[in-house]
Structure 1
């Protein structure tokens, strides 16, 4: 029996992929696994698609069936099942947050490097509280004050990955439109621009503005984020679309978005030029 549903993480994806590979190598179908272990096909599917983490007895039954005898290999997979899969603080907001957003936060928290292109907003990890509140209120006009407040809290807590002992490396390219739009009023926007200047001084943050005069560019299709993880965990892409956010995991998709990001970097102002641009925009408020 599998554990309860929880947001997938990079380590859970790795475990799922490895168990699926081991099943294929042992020439078992999901149906034959059920016949020999009693683990039903629906549960095995959820395990192999990183929807749930298997309980210890389920994992051991699978490893026995797949012929995994090497203690080091068994220990490595067992370690993956014991790793925490959800941020403790995120559980406080779980009932109120959409499942897709919880998944996004879980992946973001594990990432070692982020490449973010934003066309309409200041990146969430670089937003001030006042700007975040104005954005969330504007995007969700029917949300209650309590709901807006909870989302603002979540956004601020997400920013902890920039200040932890081993902080994530963030490279953000932001369209000029996101900085020209006055969100929350002049004072809120000036505070936000000043905050960007301060954050961009951190050695783990690179910020570039994509100016209007860059013309047409490959980011016009929408915002996206390339997430890279430590160890053996494969990279993935989160892309905005008309129907909502999409997680893309194939090597081809990741390579395409990495290439797109490099094109945007080449068309954007340099980090030094970006600082001068943002300071001038702040001073003009």
Structure 2
């Protein structure tokens, strides 16, 4: 089993699920070590993501823990391999905060993505000019190099929504986000036209909550809900002023699923949403 100093978000999630599996079985770390012929430190390192696992080791541990969920075990085994492949976002390692890379990884492996935005437009549909204008408002003020790195990284994330294996996506956007002019009128018009065109893709559904809807559940929220290979591996990513925050506990995940469902009820239909987006673009 390989050791690592800086596990990725996906590696940490696997570690968390191995800990949950042990705890749900009512097995202590000491007993787990005895079962696996290891010591307490080894178990602790596995559950912190500091020690890598093979797919067979995952299955072996699950067998010792008597995990009854075969689909979950296979999904966890599928999260590991003999060697982690390099991905496009690895070129940004050490150049951007790890949270940015963890979001890329989360989106890459998601089987479906749902988002809700009430102030910003979804990052997966931002144009370069729009994204650049947003990053220029960073606090503290970012350098030009940092802004360009973030813009390039954001553009790279958008590849998951294109091609034969495009990820299914549903996005909820409040009208306020459509009317904020990041980068000026021309840049905003171009951005909205791009967003409307993107909503016509077969794998994309965009739903707008208009001002006329009044108050609504989830006001002020910025949510990315990434579905995993099985529901237990779903993850929510929340934007904060100081980086990405990830949620994977069962009860909060259920709460966010319910919240997104309530937000969708406040939105108009996909066709009406597209018409509103184009209408706002034409006003500029």
Give me the TM-score of the superposition, normalised by structure 1. Answer: 0.82
Alpha-carbon offset, residue 13 of structure 1: 3.1
Counterpart check, 1:216 vs 2:215? yes
* Distance (Å, rounded) in 2 between the aligned partners of 1:78 and 1:244: 29
Instruction: Please show how residues 134-283 of structure 1 align to structure 2 within 5 Å.
Output: 134-140=133-139, 142-231=141-230, 234-241=233-240, 244-283=243-282
Gaps of 5+ in 1: none
2:13 alignment counterpart: 13
Q: CA RMSD in A?
A: 3.4
Aligned length: 277
Structure 1 window deviating more from structure 2 (201-210 vs 239-248): it is 239-248
**Residue 283 to residue 181, structure 1, CA distance change in 2 (3 Å):** same
Alpha-carbon offset, residue 221 of structure 1: 4.2
1:29 alignment counterpart: 29
Alpha-carbon offset, residue 217 of structure 1: 1.2
1:3 alignment counterpart: 4
Q: C-alpha offsets along residues 190-213 of structure 1, whole Å, 9 cap, x if unaligned?
A: 110010111000011000111112
Alpha-carbon offset, residue 46 of structure 1: 4.0
* Distance (Å, rounded) in 2 between the aligned partners of 1:78 and 1:264: 34
- Contact kept in structure 2, 1:86 and 1:106, CA below 8 Å: no
Structure 1 window deviating more from structure 2 (242-251 vs 124-133): it is 242-251
Secondary structure of 1:219 counterpart: coil
Give me the TM-score of the superposition, normalised by structure 2. Answer: 0.83
Alpha-carbon offset, residue 30 of structure 1: 4.1
Secondary structure of 1:283 counterpart: helix
**Residue 157 to residue 283, structure 1, CA distance change in 2 (3 Å):** same
**Residue 32 to residue 280, structure 1, CA distance change in 2 (3 Å):** closer
Counterpart check, 1:122 vs 2:133? no
**Residue 67 to residue 31, structure 1, CA distance change in 2 (3 Å):** closer
* Distance (Å, rounded) in 1 between the aligned partners of 2:167 and 2:199: 14
Secondary structure of 1:47 counterpart: helix
* Distance (Å, rounded) in 1 between the aligned partners of 2:32 and 2:257: 40
Q: After TM superposition, what 4+ stretches of structure 1 lie above 6 angstroms from structure 2?
A: none
Gaps of 5+ in 2: none
**Residue 30 to residue 216, structure 1, CA distance change in 2 (3 Å):** farther
